[in-house]
Chains A and B, each alone.
Chain A
Amino acid sequence: VSQHITETASTCRVPKKLLAETKDILSWLNPLRESGNTNNIYPLNVCWHREVLLPLTMLTTRVNVPVPNKVKFCIVFDEQGKDVTPRPLYRPEPSASLHRQSKILSTQDFSGATGSDFLSSFSMHQTSGVNASLVGPFSRTYGSSTISKSTTSTTESMADEIKNIFIFTLFNLTDVQVRRDEIKEQLTKEDIDKRVDIYLTETETIWLLDMPTVMMSVESEDAEKVQERNKDYIELCKNKVGNDRFVERMMQTLNGAPKTKEVQCEKILMEDKGIMATSWDLYDSFNALEPMLTSSVTERSSRPTKSITSSSIIDLESVILARIHEEEKDHSEAILKSEKFQQDLFFMERILMENVFQPKLAAYRQLPVLLEEAEEGEEEEEEKKETVVSSSLLLDLSEAPEEILPPNLERLWSYTCEWTNGHNVSSMAWNKLNPDLLAVGYGQFGFQEQKKGLACCWSLKNPMWPERIYQCDHGVTALDFSLANPNLLAVGMYNGTIAIYNVQTHNTTALLDSSESFDKHIGPVWQLKWIEQDRGITGDDKGEILISISADGRITKWLIRKGLGCTDLMKLKRTASERKKLTGEKEKKSEALISRQAPGMCFDFHPRNTNIYLAGTEEGHIHKCSCSYNEQFLETYRAHKGPVYKIAWNPFSADMFLSCSADWSIILWRQDSVRPILTFSSTTNVVHDIMWSPKSAFVFAAVNEGRVEIWDLSVSTLDPLIVTFANPGVKFTTVLFARNTDCILIGDNNGIVSVYELRNMTASDSNKHLS
């Protein structure tokens, strides 16, 4: 029987044509098998097959079923070395019948299942408990020839079959045992642990029966026999229909009993994580990805499992890095020292100032201040809900075009700090690039009062503390910002030194200093100016030069070329009065001169022709000079009886200039006339400073010691338009107009620079010229 079985197993081939006709035969063929799963690797759920069988036959050992010749063989072992080889569904099934016999498996019954889905067939098995169908496997085992046998389900046949099965299984076992030993030797621990790749492929079709058609020539010898046979066959087929000898029989596929297998895995840990993916988070992570890949990753500390904050990579890294820093140094100190903190403090201070000074600043910027309403903010100005003190006045102004109030100066605020207390404001200059930046020089005028001086840079945004403080050994008497390099500030001092500072850096030491230079000034530098000059005449580069005038009687031109080099533009010679000008000897005789040179007090370059300039001396003379001639003056204007403290060309009318002097007078000159045009003397005080208004050709400001006067020549030439008195004890020393607004800055001898707003000035046409 066993032989038979194997034979049938190996040689049973059914041609495809017959397959179609003999569907019932095929119905019991394992559908899986038909699909060609000849590699004998079946789903694990089939392994029950073997296990179930064994209790009857071999209880302890596991058996590898010998595979029919054509099918490949493979073994799968689990951890304990148990064979968990997926067993083929189609198996010589004496075993199947065996298991059915056992009562153990009474629960797992089979039902006829012809479906191709094996698993579904299992479920069907379990639900229905039809015993009749149990016959199926029996019959299948034995191939087509056993069809007749399958009908009988009597115990005798069963017994026979069992016997057969027994033999078969014994055969199997012996066979298997041998094979198992062989296999055991080969199997080592590595093999078990080794990863085995299992490939499931479609196997080749197994031809169970192939009887190809044979063709013969009609004229051959055997043709007749074949024809006869053919005829017989046809008749047989015809007779088959109602014949008793041919019985149609349904077959069943063998359905194995299912077995449940429980598997337990380790507990799956669940973590909740909430993340809010904001668009900036995505942006940050994306940007951080590339540098992160290249840079070494710092060790990551464990994070809490539940986090509902946005977690970008950057945040994680920065927090971790921050933690690492903590270990290294005191974190709070690091914060305080960090540059960002300094910057933040800087901004904070400015913002505080803004809050405090806001109405004043608004007035400075000439913003309309509305009552109880939001202002139209401009640039950095913020809105303030509380009423502004000066707003009521301004409001009146805007409502009533007629002037209710006469023109006046409204004090806004003052630039002062503890450093500047007690110093005398000697000079002020605006930065050429940033009209909100002011440089103020502090230095005493008199010889006796000399002490250390200061130069401070003040910003509009912080009226309480200067941006830069430069401490100088000597009193600062002159300063000016450069035009070509707006960060350069030239400072002239009482001892004649000129220093150049770079205000961009926080460095408080001078960039350049003239104290080492050969030709430095010996007397105090009373005025400094950066002049943009076309030096094509002398062949020098076109550019900016620094010009200074000092009490040693020289007007010098400074060049920044490997330090401060200078050349004299002019030496101010002492000139006597007009009458005695011609006779040089007589001068010597009549006047005992201490020096041949007259101390220069001030100068001003012509606004249009930078070759011409005016210089004022201590003698009271004003000389018109040219850069081309450094020996002679072009013209001399004599009218003042005291030192000329300031000269100013009118920015609109190129011919006129103004000069003020210690003889209490301000004189308006015209370039071509040696005689003054107008003289303004309203007080008996020294006029320290004058300046033309940048907005009007007629307006100028003058400070004498106790008061500041705004003159408007279009209104009156006799009296100033506005007079504001200083606090008693305070002397005004310098005046400066603001370029972009109607404000005037006044420095006094207490170190305070006050900002006043010119109000109610009639708008004068700047194009008008003085006639």
Chain B
Amino acid sequence: MAEVEETLKRIQAHKGVIGTIVVNAEGIPIRTTLDNSTTVQYAGLLHQLTMKARSTVRDIDPQNDLTFLRIRSKKHEIMVAPDKEYLLIVIQNPCE
């Protein structure tokens, strides 16, 4: 548990990381470094996108599964580690 906390702290303190969010399957944030409205927005939108991505991957080959999702935009990069029970989201600005 302590290791998890430590790793989370390290990630949050990492260079360029704008925010870290951990939400459970129902969209309730467990850990977040952003404000609540942004967190909820991210969680909701990314949840849908993750489901769609997973569906896409599995439609092509049902034995395959989605492990990681990265969305690179102009301003920053959103990285999502999806799971059945939670979503780990990190937003990073890699330019700095």
Q: Which residues of chain A have a CB within 8 Å of any CB of chain B?
A: 278-280, 282-284, 310, 318-319, 322, 331-332, 334-338, 340-342, 344-349, 351-353, 355-356, 358, 384, 386, 464-465
Secondary structure call for the A interface: helix
Give chain B nearest CB distance to A181 CB in angstroms. Answer: 71
CA distance in complex: A334, B30 (Å): 11
Given A347-B68, A355-B16, A355-B94, 10 other A-B residues pairs in contact with their CB atoms under 8 A: A279-B59, A279-B62, A283-B63, A310-B55, A319-B25, A331-B24, A338-B85, A349-B11, A351-B70, A356-B15
Are A344 and B83 CB-contacts (below 8 A) given A335-B24, A352-B17? yes
B43 partner residues in chain A, CB cutoff 8 A? none
B24 partner residues in chain A, CB cutoff 8 A? 331-332, 335
Interface residues of B in 1-24 (CB under 8 A from A): 1, 3-4, 7-8, 10-11, 14-17, 22, 24
Taking a contact as CB atoms closer than 8 A, the residue among A341, A351, A352 that contacts B86 in the complex is A341
Q: In the bound complex, do residue A348 and residue B1 qualify as a contact, i.e. CB atoms below 8 Å apart?
A: no
Q: In the bound complex, do residue B55 and residue A278 qualify as a contact, i.e. CB atoms below 8 Å apart?
A: yes
B55 partner residues in chain A, CB cutoff 8 A? 278, 280, 310
Q: In the bound complex, do residue B83 and residue A341 qualify as a contact, i.e. CB atoms below 8 Å apart?
A: yes
Q: In the bound complex, do residue B95 and residue A386 qualify as a contact, i.e. CB atoms below 8 Å apart?
A: yes
Q: In the bound complex, do residue B94 and residue A356 qualify as a contact, i.e. CB atoms below 8 Å apart?
A: yes
Are A279 and B81 CB-contacts (below 8 A) given A335-B30, A341-B88, A352-B17? no
CA distance in complex: A355, B68 (Å): 15
Q: What residue of chain B has the Cβ atom nearest to residue A280's Cβ?
A: B58
Q: In the bound complex, do residue A318 and residue B84 qualify as a contact, i.e. CB atoms below 8 Å apart?
A: yes
CA distance in complex: A319, B24 (Å): 12
Contact sample, A vs B, 19 pairs, CB 8 Å cutoff: A279-B58, A280-B59, A310-B55, A318-B84, A322-B25, A332-B24, A332-B30, A336-B1, A336-B4, A337-B1, A341-B4, A345-B8, A345-B11, A347-B68, A348-B88, A355-B16, A356-B16, A356-B94, A464-B14
Q: What residue of chain A has the Cβ atom nearest to residue B86's Cβ?
A: A335
Q: In the bound complex, do residue A346 and residue B83 qualify as a contact, i.e. CB atoms below 8 Å apart?
A: no
Interface residues of B in 29-88 (CB under 8 A from A): 30-31, 55, 58-59, 62-63, 68, 70, 77, 79, 81, 83-86, 88
CA distance in complex: A738, B15 (Å): 27
B94 partner residues in chain A, CB cutoff 8 A? 355-356, 358, 384
Q: What residue of chain B has the Cβ atom nearest to residue A336's Cβ?
A: B4
CA distance in complex: A56, B17 (Å): 97
CA distance in complex: A279, B64 (Å): 12
CA distance in complex: A257, B28 (Å): 71
A334 partner residues in chain B, CB cutoff 8 A? 85
CA distance in complex: A399, B53 (Å): 41
Give chain A nearest CB distance to B16 CB in angstroms. Answer: 6
Q: In the bound complex, do residue B58 and residue A348 qualify as a contact, i.e. CB atoms below 8 Å apart?
A: no
CA distance in complex: A322, B4 (Å): 22
CA distance in complex: A318, B70 (Å): 26
B58 partner residues in chain A, CB cutoff 8 A? 278-280, 283
Taking a contact as CB atoms closer than 8 A, the residue among B22, B62, B92 that contacts A336 in the complex is B22
Q: What residue of chain B has the Cβ atom nearest to residue A417's Cβ?
A: B10
A352 partner residues in chain B, CB cutoff 8 A? 11, 14, 16-17, 79, 90, 92
Q: In the bound complex, do residue B85 and residue A335 qualify as a contact, i.e. CB atoms below 8 Å apart?
A: yes
CA distance in complex: A356, B90 (Å): 14
B7 partner residues in chain A, CB cutoff 8 A? 342, 345-346, 349
Give chain B nearest CB distance to A282 CB in angstroms. Answer: 8
Q: In the bound complex, do residue B83 and residue A340 qualify as a contact, i.e. CB atoms below 8 Å apart?
A: yes
CA distance in complex: A384, B8 (Å): 25
CA distance in complex: A345, B73 (Å): 22
Give chain B nearest CB distance to A35 CB in angstroms. Answer: 56
CA distance in complex: A747, B15 (Å): 24
CA distance in complex: A337, B22 (Å): 12
Q: In the bound complex, do residue A355 and residue B31 qualify as a contact, i.e. CB atoms below 8 Å apart?
A: no
Taking a contact as CB atoms closer than 8 A, the residue among B30, B62, B81, B92 that contacts A280 in the complex is B62
Q: In the bound complex, do residue A342 and residue B3 qualify as a contact, i.e. CB atoms below 8 Å apart?
A: yes
Give chain B nearest CB distance to A420 CB in angstroms. Answer: 15
Q: In the bound complex, do residue A344 and residue B3 qualify as a contact, i.e. CB atoms below 8 Å apart?
A: no
Q: In the bound complex, do residue A349 and residue B77 qualify as a contact, i.e. CB atoms below 8 Å apart?
A: no
A282 partner residues in chain B, CB cutoff 8 A? 62
Q: In the bound complex, do residue B79 and residue A283 qualify as a contact, i.e. CB atoms below 8 Å apart?
A: no
B81 partner residues in chain A, CB cutoff 8 A? 344-345, 347-348
B1 partner residues in chain A, CB cutoff 8 A? 336-337
Give chain B nearest CB distance to A141 CB in angstroms. Answer: 74
5 shortest interchain CB distances as A-B pairs: A280-B58, A283-B62, A344-B81, A332-B30, A355-B94
Among B30, B68, B92, chain A packs the most CB atoms within 10 A around the CB of B30
CA distance in complex: A337, B86 (Å): 12
Among B3, B31, B70, B81, chain A packs the most CB atoms within 10 A around the CB of B81
B86 partner residues in chain A, CB cutoff 8 A? 335, 341
A356 partner residues in chain B, CB cutoff 8 A? 14-16, 94
A283 partner residues in chain B, CB cutoff 8 A? 58, 62-63
Q: What residue of chain A has the Cβ atom nearest to residue B1's Cβ?
A: A337
Q: What residue of chain A has the Cβ atom nearest to residue B29's Cβ?
A: A332
Q: What residue of chain A has the Cβ atom nearest to residue B96's Cβ?
A: A356
Q: What residue of chain B has the Cβ atom nearest to residue A462's Cβ?
A: B10
A337 partner residues in chain B, CB cutoff 8 A? 1, 4
Q: In the bound complex, do residue B84 and residue A351 qualify as a contact, i.e. CB atoms below 8 Å apart?
A: no
Give chain B nearest CB distance to A118 CB in angstroms. Answer: 56
Q: What residue of chain B has the Cβ atom nearest to residue A356's Cβ?
A: B15
Give chain B nearest CB distance to A357 CB in angstroms. Answer: 10
Q: In the bound complex, do residue A345 and residue B88 qualify as a contact, i.e. CB atoms below 8 Å apart?
A: yes
Give chain B nearest CB distance to A372 CB in angstroms. Answer: 14
Give chain B nearest CB distance to A525 CB in angstroms. Answer: 31
Give chain B nearest CB distance to A327 CB in angstroms. Answer: 14
CA distance in complex: A318, B17 (Å): 33
CA distance in complex: A715, B53 (Å): 57
A331 partner residues in chain B, CB cutoff 8 A? 24
A464 partner residues in chain B, CB cutoff 8 A? 10, 14
CA distance in complex: A334, B70 (Å): 25
CA distance in complex: A278, B59 (Å): 6
Q: What residue of chain A has the Cβ atom nearest to residue B55's Cβ?
A: A278
B3 partner residues in chain A, CB cutoff 8 A? 342
Among B16, B63, B86, chain A packs the most CB atoms within 10 A around the CB of B86
Give chain B nearest CB distance to A506 CB in angstroms. Answer: 8
Are A335 and B22 CB-contacts (below 8 A) given A280-B62, A341-B4? yes
Q: In the bound complex, do residue A351 and residue B88 qualify as a contact, i.e. CB atoms below 8 Å apart?
A: no
Are A351 and B10 CB-contacts (below 8 A) given A322-B85, A341-B88? no
CA distance in complex: A431, B23 (Å): 38
Give chain A nearest CB distance to B52 CB in angstroms. Answer: 11
CA distance in complex: A465, B15 (Å): 13
Give chain B nearest CB distance to A351 CB in angstroms. Answer: 6
Among A337, A345, A349, chain B packs the most CB atoms within 10 A around the CB of A345
Taking a contact as CB atoms closer than 8 A, the residue among A284, A318, A336 that contacts B30 in the complex is A336
CA distance in complex: A129, B39 (Å): 81
CA distance in complex: A279, B14 (Å): 40
Are A342 and B4 CB-contacts (below 8 A) given A335-B24, A352-B90? yes
Give chain A nearest CB distance to B84 CB in angstroms. Answer: 6
Give chain A nearest CB distance to B63 CB in angstroms. Answer: 8
CA distance in complex: A340, B84 (Å): 10
